[in-house]
Amino acid sequence: MKHRAITIDGPAGSGKSSVAREVALRLGFSFLDTGALYRAAALAIRDAGCDANDNDACGRVLQGIHISQDGGTTLLNGRDVSQEIRTPETSALASAIAVHPSVRGVLVEVQRSFLSRSSLVAEGRDTGSVVFPDADVKIYLHADPEERARRRHAELVAKGMSPAMETVLHEMKIRDERDEGRKESPLVIPESAVVVDTTHLNIQEVVEKILSLVRERLTD
């Protein structure tokens, strides 16, 4: 039986993680959180005392570790790092190392290995363009920067943090520039992807729109 791949890409704050998780649940597919894999890699690089700007050194660190996901749990060498990877510092480091070809090369292979086990919904920034270019359905979520910053700010406040909205928006714009401008696997709208603007939609509305598209495509 052929395993199906659905990819949901987009910039930070577009809603892709929440949407992808719910779509996977509704379809009975596995959910692949590629951002969590990059954050776990960032932890490994930090713990190794490696220079995050050194492409070759970062790649060597990742060649010697094991990153996996089990349901909603992310494991680094068998250790549950699900909470540790969600700090702003780890997110920033993950963004910094994601520009390296050595890092992306290792993690692309890790991501592809999941499809050999089950059908999946993968969310990220290059899942439809690079990781699973032959995915059955490709979605690209977009939202206005101000709305994406508002969502991110709300997430941080819910975790007990209190950053200024202006700071969150500024950091998001920097992240967008880095993701779109990097030479290795930049953030782009994948070929044949359906673009969904989530600015004025709630999570359930986006989920229903995607499920309708998926069922139509998979039936065909």
Q: List, for residues 137-150, the tens digit of each pLDDT value.
A: 999 999 999 999 99
CA atoms of 214 and 220, how far apart (whole Å)? 10
User: In this predicted structure, what is the pLDDT of residue 2?
Assistant: 85
Query: Tokens 């699900």 belong to which residue?
Result: 82
User: In this predicted structure, what is the pLDDT of residue 27?
Assistant: 95
Angle between helices 101-115 and 34-47 (to 10 degrees): 130
User: In this predicted structure, what is the pLDDT of residue 214?
Assistant: 95
User: In this predicted structure, what is the pLDDT of residue 111?
Assistant: 95
Predicted confidence (pLDDT) at residue 220 exceeds the cutoff of 80: no
User: In this predicted structure, what is the pLDDT of residue 106?
Assistant: 95
* pLDDT category of residue 30 using cuts at 50, 70 and 90: very high
Q: Record the tokens describing residue 141, joined without a space.
A: 């979520």
The CB density around residue 182, as the number of other CB atoms within 10 Å, is 18
User: In this predicted structure, what is the pLDDT of residue 1?
Assistant: 64
Cα angle 41-162-20, degrees, rounded to a multiple of 5: 45
Query: Tokens 């932890």 belong to which residue?
Result: 43
The side-by-side arrangement of strands in the sheet containing 30-33 is 30-33, 120-124, 5-9, 137-142, 194-197
